[in-house]
Amino acid sequence: MGIADQMAEAGRRERLGGLSPDKILGENKKNFVIPYEKIDKLELYRGGKLLTFRGIRINTVSTKYEFQASSEGFRGDVDSLADLLRPLLFDKLSIED
């Protein structure tokens, strides 16, 4: 990640870090809630030559969601992201190559 990417990401984190979940949901009309109790499994997946983070799959009791990382999104180490999520998701979290 270049310095410009790092600065943009830091600005995004700072801007969203102080917001409540409701405010974050309101930031974009495409944002939506997936209740924790509905999540059966959350998969982080990697790809590319460097096996960097490529996306998230969320399986709920009724729906499967897939979100791919964009060039503006998180492009870091999957294991670091998993370390952040593991305390929240416990055995629901997996990493796929």
What is the rounded CA–CA span in Å between residue 23 and residue 70? 23
**pLDDT of 81:** 81
The residue type at 82: A
**pLDDT of 2:** 54
What is the rounded CA–CA span in Å between residue 4 and residue 10? 10
- The 10s digit of each residue's pLDDT in 15-48 is 666 778 888 888 889 989 999 999 999 998 887 6
Phi/psi region, residue 44 (left: phi>0; alpha: psi -120 to 50; beta: rest), is beta
pTM above 0.85, yes or no: no
Q: Using the predicted structure, report yes or no on whether residue 85 has a pLDDT greater than 90.
A: no
Strands 52-60 and 39-47: antiparallel
